[in-house]
Amino acid sequence: MMLKVAMLSKWHVHAEGYARDFLKTGKAEITAVWDEKPERGMPWAEALGCDFEADLDALLARNDVDAVCCCAPTTMHKDVLIRAAKAGKHIFTEKTLACTVEECREIAKAVEENGVTFTISFPHKAWPAVRFAKKHIENGDFGRVTNVRIRNAHNGVSGKWLPEYWFVKEDCAGGAMMDLGCHPMYLLAYLCGKPKKITGIANSVLGTPVDENAISVIEFENGAIGVSETSFLAFSSPYTIEVHGTEGIFLWRGNNDMKYKTVETAKLNKDFITPDVMPEDGGYPINLFVDACINGTGSPDGLGMEDAIELACLLENSYISYETGKTVEIKE
């Protein structure tokens, strides 16, 4: 079986990559494109060798569309995804799911009522380094985890390579925190559990209409404090993960620069250790989504609706904190 996929908008900078990734699976074909801007969508459809549909409902009514990949502006997600779910189309969506938890709940209701498979793009959960940290946290190898810091940043603004439309708040709903900041946010929740409070700090150093530089500090119910760092202004900033516990430490700076140390390794007079064996990659979200749709197995673990809502909750409350200058208690 080949999964027939429609691409919904080329707005997101990952859209072209997602289209290529669907085709690379060898199990999916792209049958149609819709874009809120026909002048952008039509040439893309031509390049992909498929039909362009100017009317979203017409696309969703097509028999040769089993699933959709949503790369529309974030502020359009609620409308687009609810319509897709009601049309019975499986949904793969770029993060974040929607601008507020309330909007996410409306999408969730439509997905559940129509029995479609839902997957959100959280690719960093699959990384071996993240899976290694998760396993050892769960095993208690680091003792009581007290602090986790994750940094994901680039120079998209200071290097002037992000497109200007990326800063239109009416479309994107936010800046660095809403975009790159998603990854540290969902990884902190993955590693630390249920969040309790959040404080967000952000600014626009070079004057774009959205936040260019942001940090969120999250207190979790288990007592751990997480720090999510992100920026569009960072020169040569490595992806960084730090896990600090009462009996151990884990450090990762991308490109296999990983080491850890525990009370047990210290007893053996060993300093920081580089692991000899790593967990396997957990699988790319698009590949997992295609297989789930074909096999009818439901949302892949860690990429489902509740995971998507958890991220939206952190983002929404971090922005509330940033705008009010107050720490926000998380009630969702």
Tens-digit pLDDT profile for residues 257-280: 999 999 998 888 888 999 988 999
Residue 96: cis peptide before it, omega within 30 degrees of 0: yes
pLDDT at 270: 84
For residues 212-237, give the mean pLDDT: 97
pLDDT at 172 over 90: yes
DSSP 121: -
The residues near 121 (Cβ < 8 Å, ≥ 6 apart) are 14, 18, 92, 93, 94, 95, 285, 286, 303
Record the tokens describing residue 80, joined without a space.
Answer: 């687009």
DSSP 174: -
How many other β-carbons are positioned within 10 Å of the β-carbon of residue 7? 27
The single-letter code of the amino acid at 123 is P
What does the pLDDT read at residue 118?
A: 98
- Residues 226/217, Cβ–Cβ less than 8 Å: yes
Q: Report the distance separating Cα 232 and Cα 213, nearest Å.
A: 6
Q: At 329, list the tokens.
A: 């208690």
Output the pLDDT for position 307. 98
- Work out the mean pLDDT of the chain and round it to a whole number: 96
Q: Is the pLDDT of residue 256 over 80?
A: no
The pLDDT-based confidence of 210 (bands split at 50, 70, 90) is very high
Residue 328 has pLDDT above 90, yes or no: yes
The pairing of strands 225-231 and 258-262 is: unpaired
pLDDT at 163 exceeding the cut of 70: yes
**Model confidence at 197: pLDDT above 70:** yes
User: Which pLDDT does position 34 carry in this prediction?
Assistant: 98
Tens digit of pLDDT for each residue in 60-84? Answer: 999 999 999 999 999 999 999 999 9
Q: Residue 119 is encoded by which pair of tokens? A: 């997957």
**Above 70 in pLDDT, residue 332?**
no
Scanning the structure block, which residue is given the tokens 């120079």? Answer: 155
Closest by CA to 172, choosing from 310, 86, 73, 61, is 73
Q: Are 180 and 228 in contact (CB under 8 A)?
A: no
What residue ranges define each of the domains in the chain, with the CATH number in brackets?
Answer: 3-116 (3.40.50.720), 124-282+313-329 (3.30.360.10)
